[in-house]
Amino acid sequence: MTEPTPNGSSVTDLNELQDEATRAASDASDLDALDEVRVRFTGKRSPLAELQQGMRDLTPDERKERGQQLNAFKAAFAAAYDARRDQLAADALRARLEAERLDLTVPARRLPVGRPHLLTQVEHEMLDVFVGMGFAVAEGPEVESGTYNFDLLNIEPDHPARQEMDTIYVSREDDVVLRTHTSPVQARVMTTQEPPIAVVCPGRVFRADAVDATHSPVFTQVEGLVVAEGITMAHLRGTLLAFARRLFGADRQIRMRPSFFPFTEPSAEIDVTFEGHPSGWLEILGAGMVDPNVLTACGIDPDRYTGFAFGIGVERVAMLRHGVSDIRDLFDSDVRFLTRF
Ligand code: PHE
């Protein structure tokens, strides 16, 4: 760069300076470099500033001419500066968009979606049927006193069900057991509510049974109880026929066979027609008319009220409905099994 003298700088020098300045601006690699160029050519100690100062010593005519030349220089530099600044900003934006580009064609990763366990599904289906008939749902403790689990249900102290082989005792001394059925929930309802009563009692129950394909020491029941004036076995039969048809198919028939439970009299096993089963019938639940002793023990007048009760194994219904042949599949929590339902 030629050192410009205040007075004597020619138009040629100024043109050269303009070329140099605009080229430097155009070549600036980033905004900082561009700003340095601006300071170098137009700042306080720049050739431009010197030329402006030198104007003091010029004649009015010369000053006018020089002023026009300097304005032309400033305008040309400003244009080059702005152009480069806009370009750098556009480059930066393009680089950012490129870096943040999203490929919308990449297939989404599939997240595994959970669902209720088969047993929960079947239990809810069963409860839905009874709730639809007007039953309320009642629940009770899994750790239960012998009073509710046995005594109020007319199960005598010497009944085989009381023996250790069936019942898991938490404390023999205090007569605390893991409930062996959900009937104690029904006893709790009867001792606290006035008839008419219609409840279903879902829950886990416990028996000291060895594990095999059809037995588990923990399983799930849905038991039901209706107590009101004028309840007969016909109500029991109609209720369970409607249940069987909702769960197993509209054309199903049921039949009742005499049976025995300490808390019902008479008692019955209920079979439902089942294609493919050798006899054509399959036992699905136990039921009966609530024994007057049970009503009395629970504070209900057996001369005024009658009732029916039934107990259904949820695992058994799930296995029949879905062709599961080993009850252990219901407790193993193998996702390959669980995701089938
Ligand atoms: N409580 C019985 C059981 O656990 C089932 C049952 C309930 C039978 C009600 C008759 C009436 O096996």
pLDDT the model gives residue 165:
62
pLDDT the model gives residue 19:
92
Question: Ligand 1 pocket check: which of 148, 178, 179, 181 to mutate, most ligand atoms within 8 Å of Cβ?
Answer: 181
CA 313 to centroid of ligand 1, rounded, Å: 9
CA 318 to centroid of ligand 1, rounded, Å: 18
226 in helix, strand or coil? strand
CA 171 to centroid of ligand 1, rounded, Å: 24
pTM for the structure as a whole: 0.69
Is the separation of the CB atoms in 269 and 257 below 8 Å? yes
Question: Ligand 1 pocket check: which of 148, 150, 218, 263 to mutate, most ligand atoms within 8 Å of Cβ?
Answer: 263
pLDDT the model gives residue 6:
46
pLDDT the model gives residue 51:
86
Q: What is the mean pLDDT of each run of 10 residues along the chain (341 residues)?
A: 50 85 94 94 90 88 90 94 95 92 90 92 97 98 97 88 80 95 98 98 95 93 98 97 94 95 96 86 94 98 98 94 92 91 91
Give residues (CB < 6 A) around ligand 1.
181, 183, 223, 261, 264, 286-288, 309-311
- 3-class DSSP string for 152-217: HHCCCCCCHHHCCCCCCEEECCCCEEECCCCHHHHHHHHHHCCCCEEEEEEEEEECCCCCCCCCCC
pLDDT the model gives residue 2:
46
User: Atom 5 in ligand 1: which residue has the minimum CA distance?
Assistant: 311
User: Atom 9 in ligand 1: which residue has the minimum CA distance?
Assistant: 310
CA 117 to centroid of ligand 1, rounded, Å: 24
User: Atom 7 in ligand 1: which residue has the minimum CA distance?
Assistant: 311
Atom of ligand 1 nearest to the CA of 225: 9
User: Atom 6 in ligand 1: which residue has the minimum CA distance?
Assistant: 311
Alpha-carbon span 82 to 18, nearest angstrom: 15
pLDDT the model gives residue 158:
83
Cβ count near 284 (within 10 Å):
24
